[in-house]
A and B are shown apart, each in its own frame.
Chain A
């Protein structure tokens, strides 16, 4: 292993343990040894990305690509930057180029699927993930994405199967826990999902998305949300059904029961409606403020 390789290895490690600042100093050293090495330029870009300097990171990625056209790490870096910047069309161009070079590259296939998920092209994303899993059945990123897509499309069983396989492969990995949280909450087990979410939060308390997710799960498993269970579970379809049932139910009941009973039923229904509008946001604020 040459000195340059050693430095690159070290930079990768520092990035892994979240020390981009220390990594940056070594990038300077590595660039001094060889200012044109594409691997070093990629790492330089990764350091910038870790410090939220996306423009600078993009410049590094292009620099690496200019030295070594088609460099895999550089294209992968560029893709991540563009996706983070929500420049979806450009990101697609990059990933398509990777797939032209190697149509069976599971990483590129998964990246493409990730991009399509961002723009809600779910069917195409599914097809891409299936292809990625055909090329590399054990690829963790593809498996996670597969479970996520199953959840979004409402196929909880398939998601749970996928999750079981992930857990068996690496029960402690953080990405597995994330998937488990998502699948469990989607299958109507907010309590278990909350437990996993809280475990995850203990290791990543600086992740605002995780904080939001945990608060939502606590909300969903709160006793005061019990009357709203069908609405929370079924979304707007359930709301519409409930509306229809209530209105038609009241009309149909009219000839048979006393007016007072009808009035009480109508009021109860209105109260539930009002509560479904006001309750969750209030409780959400309360939980965020008070903690749990």
Chain B
């Protein structure tokens, strides 16, 4: 039984993770000669089923139809590396003379974010054990298995706002969520949205949402959300207000269907984000990303020093010497230690590995970049009576900063 394209589209809108339907849809598009659209679908299949050859073969056919022969080659090589690839389905390479005929035309290649080979996984995010568990249950699972959650009367949807001090892994976690969701990842920052031409910022924002809806299942990630949705009560110009209004419009999805699109945001300054953005159905789940604890920092030192020449190092001791440091600060300590060793070697010293003393000395010079943020957050918890920062309060208590 073959389904018509509108039927397939409806089925996919209901369950974006139904791979069989998506493949059928991609083939239907191919049969209709819509190679670019089919390519987009095959690329999604690749992302959702990265260890199968089918998606890559489909993508290869489309690339070839579009005349992008090098990309077609690359897809074929990917497909050949998969377990389920069988040599019989290896397609014949087209004769060079035909390239001119099949290629060309003004069909543009699909604007899909390419799958990065080194996508960040949840396992790469060190520490944050409880946080990862929460995200898994409350965000990733409902997104990947909407049917299951619907049966229990829970609806996926609504956005998630990650907030916390700088350098503690908000951006990293957002990337990891996307790859765990096996969805396209569309990341937008200030420079992609804020535009110098009047009215273009709103259009850029709408375009980002449109792209995410087109590529669903997709994770749409707004970095530095406070700059894109700056509190209207604090703004002095109308530009900022119009942009926030457009943002609310897109999130509410009155004119659009945001099913299958997970909206993520990250910010260092949640208090600058317009309060309307945090209402139900929008960024209604706010997740605090705290600085790493001693054990997490120790693990960071261990992992990040793994490919550098090191002597015996007690990572826990180094971690204890860097209280309140963020993940980015840890990177800084390691870089400074490497620099010390290299300076010594270049000054004529013997070639030696990084020692614990180098790290401890470097740690003394690094100022934790989280302290200023934590002090500001303390004002919120102590004097403003803001109940929405319970997690921050718990963290401050545990770190003896309250």
Bits for A134-154, please: 1 = Cβ < 8 Å to B, else 0.
000000000000000000000
Q: Which of A10-18, A121-129, A180-188, A259-267 contacts B (4 or more CB under 8 A)?
A: A10-18
Q: A6-B196, A203-B234, A205-B271 are in contact. Are A17 and B240 (CB under 8 A)?
A: yes
Residues of the B chain whose Cβ atoms lie less than 8 Å from the Cβ of A206: 376, 379
Contact of A202 among B190, B196, B240, B271 (CB under 8 A): B271
A198 touches B383 (CB 8 A): yes
The complex places the Cα of A218 from the Cα of B382 at a distance, in Å, of 12
B196 touches A292 (CB 8 A): no
Residue pair B376, A9 in contact (C-beta under 8 Å):
no
Q: Which of A6, A18, A203, A218 contacts B197 (CB 8 A)?
A: A6
On whether the beta carbons of B381 and A291 are closer than 8 Å, the reply is yes
Given contacts A17-B230, A203-B234, A205-B271, contact A10 B194 (CB under 8 A): yes
Residues of A within 8 A of B376 (CB): 205-206
Q: What per-residue 1/0 map shows which CB atoms of A12-44 lie under 8 Å from chain B? A: 111011110010000000000000000000000
Chain B residues within 8 Å of A22, by CB: 190-191
CA distance A166 to B239 in the complex (A): 22
Docked complex Cα distance between A205 and B380 (Å): 6
Most A CB within 10 A of own CB, among B226, B237, B240, B383 = B383
Give the distance in Å from the alpha carbon of A198 to the alpha carbon of B231 in the complex.
17
B385, CB-defined interface residue at 8 Å: yes
Chain A residue at minimum C-beta to C-beta distance from B377: A205
Q: With a CB–CB cut-off of 8 A, which chain B residues contact A203?
A: 231, 233-234, 271-272
In the complex, the answer to whether B237 meets A201 with C-beta atoms within 8 Å is: no
Partner of A17, one of B226, B233, B384: B226
**Residues 202-228 of chain A: 1 if any B CB is under 8 Å from the residue's CB, otherwise 0?**
111110000100110010000000000
- The answer to whether the Cβ of B227 comes within 8 Å of any Cβ in the partner chain is yes
Considering the chains assembled together, what is the distance between the CA atoms of A198 and B402 in angstroms? 18
| A231 sits at the interface (CB 8 A) | no
Is B232 in contact with chain A by the CB < 8 A criterion?
yes
The CA of A48 and the CA of B237, in the complex, are separated in Å by 20
A150 to B269 Cα, complex, angstroms: 35
Chain B contact residues (Cβ within 8 angstroms of A): what range? 20 to 34
Residues of A within 8 A of B194 (CB): 10, 13-14
Q: Are A19 and B227 in contact (CB under 8 A)?
A: yes
Give the residues in chain B near A252, CB-CB below 8 Å: none
Within 8 Å of chain B (Cβ to Cβ): is A257? no
- Which of B198, B269, B271, B385 touches A292 (beta carbons < 8 Å)? B385
Q: Name the one of B233, B383, B386 contacting A174, with C-beta atoms under 8 angstroms.
A: B233
Whether B383 lies near A292 (C-beta < 8 A) is yes
Task: For the complex formed, measure the closest distance between the CB of A180 and the CB atoms of chain B, giving whole angstroms.
Answer: 13
Chain A nearest Cβ from B182, distance in angstroms: 33
A232 at the B interface (CB under 8 A): no
Please give me the residue from chain A that is nearest to B195 by CB atom.
A10
Interface residues of A in 158-195 (CB under 8 A from B): 172-174
- Report whether A18 and B271 are in contact in the complex, using a CB–CB cutoff of 8 Å: no
In chain A, positions 25-68 with a C-beta closer than 8 Å to chain B are none
Q: Say how far A34's CB is from chain B's closest CB, in angstroms.
A: 15
Q: Is B235 an interface residue (CB 8 A)?
A: yes
Whether B236 sits at the interface, judged by CB under 8 Å, is yes
B373-402 CB contacts (< 8 Å) to partner A: 376-377, 379-386, 402
* A163-B31 Cα distance, complex, nearest whole Å: 69
A7 within 8 A of B: yes
Given contacts A13-B237, A22-B191, A202-B386, 15 further A-B contacts (CB under 8 A): A12-B237, A14-B194, A17-B240, A18-B227, A18-B230, A172-B233, A198-B383, A201-B379, A202-B384, A203-B233, A204-B234, A205-B271, A218-B383, A290-B382, A291-B382
Interface residues of chain B, those whose CB is within 8 Å of chain A, are 190-191, 194-198, 224, 226-227, 230-237, 239-240, 269, 271-272, 376-377, 379-386, 402
7 closest A-B pairs by beta carbon, nearest first, are: A291-B382, A6-B196, A10-B196, A201-B384, A205-B379, A17-B227, A17-B230
Can you list 12 A-B pairs with a CB-CB distance of less than 8 A? A1-B198, A9-B198, A12-B237, A13-B237, A16-B239, A22-B190, A22-B191, A203-B231, A205-B380, A218-B383, A291-B383, A292-B385
